Amino acid sequence: MKHLIVLLLLATCTVSAFAQFPLGGKEKEIRAYFNKNIPYASAKDFKTADNVSGLRFLKSRGVGDYTFYFDSNGNCISYVVTYYNKELYNIINRLNSTFKPLDNSTWTSENEETNITIVPPKEKDICFSVVYLKSAGNSQNSTLTLASN
C-alpha cells in the first residue's frame, strides 16, 4: 500500500511539473516552484559544452530528475525529465493522447512550438528521458548538449 501511495505522489508531481513549466518559463519561477513543492530535490547549476546555462533538480539516482536549459535571458528553452523504464508505455500513451505524434519517439504540440522526444534507454540503463524543446525561433536548439542518465 505504501508503494502505491508513493507511486501516485510521484505521478502527481510529474503531471504537476509538466503543467507548471511551459517552455519559456523563467529560471527564478522554476527554482521557487521546486523549493516550495519538492523540497527534497537538490538543485545543481551547470553549463553545457555549448555554454548554455542549466539547472538540474536531483531526487534519486537520476530517476525523477528534472533538467532545465535556459537562454541568456533566463528563459527555459528545453527541459528533460527521467523515468524508470517500466513507465515507458504509460508515458508514450500519455504523449499520444496529449500531443500530435511525428514518429514513434517524437511528438509536437498543437501549435507546433514544442517538440517532445523520448530518448530510449541504452542497454543496462534503468531509465529513459523525455526531452521538451522549443521548436520555433530558437537557434540554440540544434547545439544543445543534453544530459544523459
How does pLDDT run across 40-96, given as a tens digit for each residue? 778 889 898 988 898 888 876 556 789 999 999 999 999 999 999 999 999 999 999
100 pLDDT band, cuts 50/70/90, is very high
Is residue 145 in a domain? no
Residue 127 lies in a domain: yes
Domain with 71, as residue range(s), is 2-138
Whether 123 is in a domain gets the answer yes
What value does the mean pLDDT take over residues 27-36? 88
- Residue 31 inside a domain? The answer is yes
- Which pLDDT score, from 0 to 100, does residue 117 have? 96
In a domain, 144, yes or no: no
* Residue pLDDT, tens place only, 131-143: 999 875 443 433 3
Q: How many domains does the chain have?
A: 1
Mean pLDDT of 5-23: 46
Is 87 among the domain residues?
yes
Task: Give the confidence band of 9 by pLDDT, cuts at 50, 70, 90.
Answer: very low
Mean pLDDT for the chain?
77
Element (H, E) at 92: helix 88-98
Domain for residue 66, yes or no? yes
User: What is the b/e burial string over 28-64, where b = at least 16 CB atoms within 10 angstroms of the residue's CB?
Assistant: eebeebbeeeeeebeeeeeeeeeebbbbbbbbeebbb
56 in a domain, yes or no? yes
